[in-house]
Chain A
Amino acid sequence: EDKVVQSPLSLVVHEGDTVTLNCSYEVTNFRSLLWYKQEKKAPTFLFMLTSSGIEKKSGRLSSILDKKELSSILNITATQTGDSAIYLCAFNTNAGKSTFGDGTTLTVKP
């Protein structure tokens, strides 16, 4: 059965810290891995990764996929209180469905 595991489950940091969130997966017919940010309501899309070793970057956020290790990390540098959210990792398979991990809850304190 396809599975995705995120760690840590929760994390508390102070503004300015750098954080690394982890996502590992066991899946057949892997196509892509996606990261979403969920604040109070709807998850919003951050990154999609399909090729190993390529870094996607947007401002202070970046992500990289390691297909050999079946994992991905999401880095956030110089964290701000607005980064507080649940970060969800999901993978897509050739069947076209997204399977989500349980998420990492990040709290950034002033």
Chain B
Amino acid sequence: NAGVTQTPKFRVLKTGQSMTLLCAQDMNHEYMYWYRQDPGMGLRLIHYSVGEGTTAKGEVPDGYNVSRLKKQNFLLGLESAAPSQTSVYFCASSPRLLSPLHFGNGTRLTVT
């Protein structure tokens, strides 16, 4: 059972480039989340989804877009990367509202 899988694990972008991070879960969870984690800081919510076809903004949504076309996948897009988006990105899922989160292993993104 793979749980939550994130691809890629690492990526380096130049300012202005775009990319998409993929999150896939095989637990049939309804809820999916994208967080970013910066050094010395906790996890900050970027966007989340309460079911297939739905998305909503979290605490720090600017500069990011998301899509959830299939229940098992949640994509995070950066349209025009900026150095301030250098971070570790975690995807998480949960079966029900307010349930504990299951996290992927993260994607380390560097924007130069």
Residues of A within 8 A of B (CB): 4, 6, 9, 31-32, 34, 36, 41-45, 48, 88, 90, 92, 96-103
- Asked if B29 is at the interface of the complex by the 8 Å CB criterion, the answer is no
- Which of B11-19, B44-52, B74-82 makes up part of the contact surface? B44-52
A41→B42 contact, CB < 8 A: no
Interface-centre pick from A9, A36, A43 (highest chain B CB count, 10 A):
A43
With known contacts A32-B98, A96-B50, A96-B98, A42–B90 Cβ distance under 8 A: yes
- Asked if B34 is at the interface of the complex by the 8 Å CB criterion, the answer is no
Ranked 9 nearest A-B pairs via Cβ:
A100-B42, A42-B103, A45-B100, A41-B105, A100-B43, A96-B97, A102-B42, A92-B98, A42-B105
- Asked if B101 is at the interface of the complex by the 8 Å CB criterion, the answer is yes
Main secondary structure of the interface of B (DSSP, over half): loop
B105→A43 contact, CB < 8 A: no
A48→B103 contact, CB < 8 A: no
Residue of chain B at shortest CB distance from A6 = B42
Q: What is the bound-complex CA distance between A30 and B41, given in angstroms?
A: 22
- Smallest beta-carbon distance B64→chain A, Å: 16
- Smallest beta-carbon distance A14→chain B, Å: 24
Chain B contact-residue range equals 20 to 34
Q: Which of A44, A92, A102 meets B40, CB within 8 Å?
A: A102
Q: List 27 A-B contacts (CB under 8 A).
A: A31-B98, A32-B98, A41-B106, A42-B4, A42-B90, A42-B104, A43-B43, A43-B90, A43-B101, A45-B100, A45-B102, A88-B43, A90-B42, A96-B31, A96-B97, A96-B98, A97-B45, A97-B48, A97-B58, A98-B43, A98-B45, A98-B101, A99-B45, A100-B42, A101-B42, A102-B40, A103-B41
